[in-house]
Structures are given as C-alpha cells and as structure tokens.
Amino acid sequence: METSELLKKIRRLEIRTKGLTKHIFSGEYHSAFKGRGMAFSEVRDYHFGDEIRTIDWNVTARYNEPHVKVFNEERELTIMLVIDVSGSTYFGTTARTKRDLAIETAAILAFSAIENNDKVGAIFLSDTVEKYIAPEKGKKHTLLILRELMGIVPKSKGTNITEGLKFLRNTQKKRTISFVISDFTDDPNFIDSMRLTAKRHDTIAIRLKDEAEETLPFMGIVSLFNAETGNTTWVNSSDPAMRERFSSQFTERESQLTQAFNRAGIDHVTLKTDDDIIRPLITLFKHR
C-alpha cells in the first residue's frame, strides 16, 4: 500500500472511530476498567459529613483542629492490544474482512484509552510475534500503532496465540488490560496460556467472525482455501448433508470456545464483519 493511501485510510479511520469513542464509548470504557487503587492527594480541614476513618490524627493533634486525608483514584492504566495478523484474518465476504474488523476495533479501544490518558501498546502476532510496540500515551503514539497495523505484511500465515501471550507476560511486568483480538483459529491449548495470562493481566478475548464461516454459501462445487496452511478442499455447497455438516462443525467449535473462555474466567465478545461493533463492546463493558 502506498504511503499516501495508507495515511488517507488512517485519517478516515481516526475521524470515524474518534467520534464514537468521544461521544459514546469513553464513559463505558472508564467505568469498565478501574485504576490500581487510591493514592494520597492532600490534607484539608474536616467538613461535616467526612468519614471519621479519613481523619489524619497527627495533623489534627498538631493544629488542634480536625483534618482529613484526601485520596484520588490512581486512574492511569496500560492497555495492550494483542492482535492476530495471521492468514485467516484476511478472510471476509462482506464490506470488510476480519482484519478490517480488527483494525477498527483496535482503533476504538486505543482512542478510548487516550481519551482517558492511559497508555497503549500492541503486539502483532501470527505463529510468532511479528511486531511489538511498547505502551506509551498520546495521539501520536496511537496513530503509530494504527499505521503499523494497517501496513504490516506478516512473515508467517499461521496462528500461535500462546506465543503472543508468553511475549506479553515477559515484557509487561506491571498489570495491564490486555485485549486479545483474533478469530482464534488455533490449537485449543491456547486457552491454558490465556488462563495463565489472566492471573497477572486483565485479559479480554475479542473474537472476529464472518457469516460465511457459519453457513456455507449455496454455490455448487466450490473450493475452500485455508489461508494458514495453504490447503484447498473442494466441496459441494449445494448438498444439504454437506451444508448441515459444515454448520454443525462451526457451531460445535463456537460452543467449545465459549465454554473454554467461561471456564478460564475470560471475559469475551464476538464481533461480526457484517454487523455493528459498538453495541457488543458496550454490552461487554457494562457486564464488567
């Protein structure tokens, strides 16, 4: 992609998502993710109605008048976007691909973070860590993340979420809010790594889905290409038994993934390429 075209796409994305985060999303984001605790701010005169337990007895004794301690929430958070850029995310049968969906979701979360003066970092993964961007504050840094995400050409097409989460744990020693944005086309054992990661970081799974993955298009004999393995399978999409088997297999995988997230205590949401993404995200955050 030419640099000028990339910059235009980033600008359009910024305008669209920043408006959403400022007017719709920021309040939900702020209430869903709490700070690390309360930090001491100052001592002031006691006012009627102040809690007795906030009285600073040393200062009260010194001035012979009651004084209380004032605390403010330690609000600053670190948001990590762990984004799947493997071959399967380039799939899409609507106006956008799963990769487009990942980029838009990342933009919404990143702009929400900077609206709240939080740090944002990113890990782009396939079956290896393709790129790491250390967390920082500010619009300039957020635009850097989006530019790198939109322009990245992955070295590998496979998926290894476990590798990306291991990298997250090794690089982020302090607690983060980590969004894993993926279609989760991976060995099911990745859930063990998510469970381990959730012990240190607030970990949220955002699953990307396209309608054609659930229902086989009625198109006669078609080829199904696996973008991660390079394998092609020919199927008769008009065969009722084949269509039923295709849908049943997807439903089973979906159910197993949901159950795995629930057992691991991982908050999760599914976003679709042909649907609004704000409503599911707000629902997720209200649930928290």
Cβ contact 136:114 at 8 Å: no
DSSP 131-157: EEEEEE-SHHHHHHHHHHHHH---S--
Distance, in Å, from the CA atom of 191 to the CA atom of 212, rounded to the nearest integer, reads 25
Please tell me the pTM assigned to this model.
0.78
Q: How far is CA 131 from its chain centroid?
A: 16
Strand partners, 272: 209
Q: Domains in the chain and their CATH numbers?
A: 3-32+77-207+268-287 (3.40.50), 38-73 (no CATH)
Determine the pLDDT at residue 156: 92
Distance, in Å, from the CA atom of 14 to the CA atom of 223, rounded to the nearest integer, reads 37
Tell me how many degrees the CA angle 122-125-262 measures, rounded to the nearest 5: 85
- Enter the tokens of residue 260: 């795995």
Determine the pLDDT at residue 81: 98
Number of helices (H) and strands (E) in the chain: give both, helices first. 9, 10
Distance, in Å, from the CA atom of 282 to the CA atom of 206, rounded to the nearest integer, reads 13
Q: Assign residue 259 a region (left: φ > 0; alpha: ψ between -120 and 50; beta: otherwise).
A: alpha
E-assigned strand segments in 137-266: 177-182, 202-209, 221-225, 232-236
Q: What are the backbone angles phi and psi of residue 180, rounded to the nearest 5°?
A: -100, 110
Determine the pLDDT at residue 44: 84
Determine the pLDDT at residue 72: 57
Give the chain's mean pLDDT.
Answer: 85
In terms of Cα–Cα distance, which of 100, 36, 101, 83 is closest to 204? 83
Q: Which residues of the chain carry a pLDDT beneath 70?
A: 1-7, 16, 18-41, 71-75, 223, 225, 227
Determine the pLDDT at residue 206: 97
Cβ contact 255:248 at 8 Å: no
**Chain segment 142-197, per-residue pLDDT in tens:** 999 999 999 999 999 999 999 999 999 999 999 999 999 999 988 888 999 999 99
Q: Which residues contact 150 (CB under 8 A, 6 or more apart)?
A: 1, 6, 9, 10, 13, 103
Task: Give the count of alpha carbons within 13 A of 154, CB side only.
Answer: 24
Distance, in Å, from the CA atom of 132 to the CA atom of 135, rounded to the nearest integer, reads 9
Q: Which residues of 46-64 are buried (b: 16+ CB within 10 A; e: fewer)?
A: eeeebeeeebbeebeeeee
